[in-house]
Amino acid sequence: MSEDTETANGLSTPPLDESPMLDIAGLQVQYGTRTVVDGVSFHIRRGEIFGLLGPNGAGKTSTLSAIEGLLRPAQGTILVDGVDSRLDPLAAKARMGVQLQSSSFQEELNIVQIARLYAGLYGVAMGREQIVAGLAGIGLQQELGKKFKQLSGGQQQRLALFIASIHNPLLLLLDEPTAGLDPQSRRTLWRRIETLRGEGRSILLTTHSMEEAQAVCDRVGIINHGALLTLGAPSELIEKHGNDPQVRAVAHGESTLEDVFIGLTGSEIND
């Protein structure tokens, strides 16, 4: 069993349970005759933050959609806490919380009412005092009467993460949770994600930010054209690929995770 470690933000993290919370084997996703995810396999341990990195169109969102149960895989297995998502999709979904890159909630409701609605939908018994305390815990105590659209971008993402975790899921799926946020809001959300990990949850997030991947992820996988190219801790990937010719060709000085990412996935922009 791993010993306690410390993140870039100085927070202590608990030892990782080596049994997987999410286990994906041979995942293949197709749109018609086009294969967008081809034989992807990886696992996420309990209490681990795992980052899935890739250019636009690489297969990240399709992989998340298959895990969420929004897309039916052509092949492969997805186990969530040991539950096969094909054989028992409801039980698998009950173990997950999902935060989309762009979230929207009922426009006529304020944020307390939104939280109460989703608590009810998830079958969670939460009174107003508990909801207000939870919103205060993510820094929204001064915004209780506001509607979702009246919140800042960072506040919206914090609320969306609160809603995604309101039923205490074992696995959180976060699709670019800090996209478009300013540095202060981004760091605040990082701390919240690390707090959730500290409570024993496993987290899969997609991101285009190499800084984010290095700051909060225990391990990352780099995907391109539907295939998983490499996987490991950010520092391990730099050590493993830092001297690859295609990585050195794009590096300025010492190789970084971004250099590894560009070297492996190419310098061309994917439309």
Q: pLDDT tens-digit profile of 93-124?
A: 999 999 877 677 888 899 999 999 999 988 89
Average pLDDT of span 191-213: 93
Average pLDDT of span 186-190: 90
Which stretch of 9-13, 131-135, 138-142, 213-217 has the lowest confidence by average pLDDT?
9-13
Average pLDDT of span 190-209: 93
Determine the pLDDT at residue 100: 79
Q: Please count the residues of the chain.
A: 271
Read off the pLDDT band of 260 (50, 70, 90). very high
Burial label, 199 (beta-carbon count in 10 A; 0-12, 13-18, 19+): exposed
Taking the alpha carbons at both ends of the chain, their separation in whole angstroms is 43
Read off the pLDDT band of 267 (50, 70, 90). confident
Closest by CA to 115, choosing from 150, 55, 165, is 165
Give yes or no for residue 14 having a pLDDT over 70: no
Q: Give the list of residues 6+ apart from residue 133 with CB closer than 8 angstroms, or none.
A: none
Give yes or no for residue 2 having a pLDDT over 70: no
Average pLDDT of span 232-260: 95
SS (H, E, C) the chain: CCCCEECCCCCEECCCEEEEEEEEEEEEEEECCEEEEEEEEEEEEECCEEEEECCCCCCHHHHHHHHHCCCCCCEEEEEECCEECCCCHHHHHHCEEEECCCCCCCCCCEHHHHHHHHHHHCCCCCCHHHHHHHHHHCCCCCCCCCEHHHCCHHHHHHHHHHHHCCCCCCEEEEECCCCCCCHHHHHHHHHHHHHHHHCCCEEEEECCCHHHHHHHCCEEEEEECCEEEEEECHHHHHHHHCCCHHHHCCCCCCCCHHHHHHHHHCCCCCC
Read off the pLDDT band of 1 (50, 70, 90). very low
Q: pLDDT tens-digit profile of 71-83?
A: 999 999 999 999 9
Determine the pLDDT at residue 112: 95
Q: Give the list of residues 6+ apart from residue 127 with CB closer than 8 angstroms, or none.
A: none
Instruction: Show the tokens assigned to 61.
Output: 């969102």
What is the Cα–Cα distance from 4 to 14, expressed in whole angstroms? 5
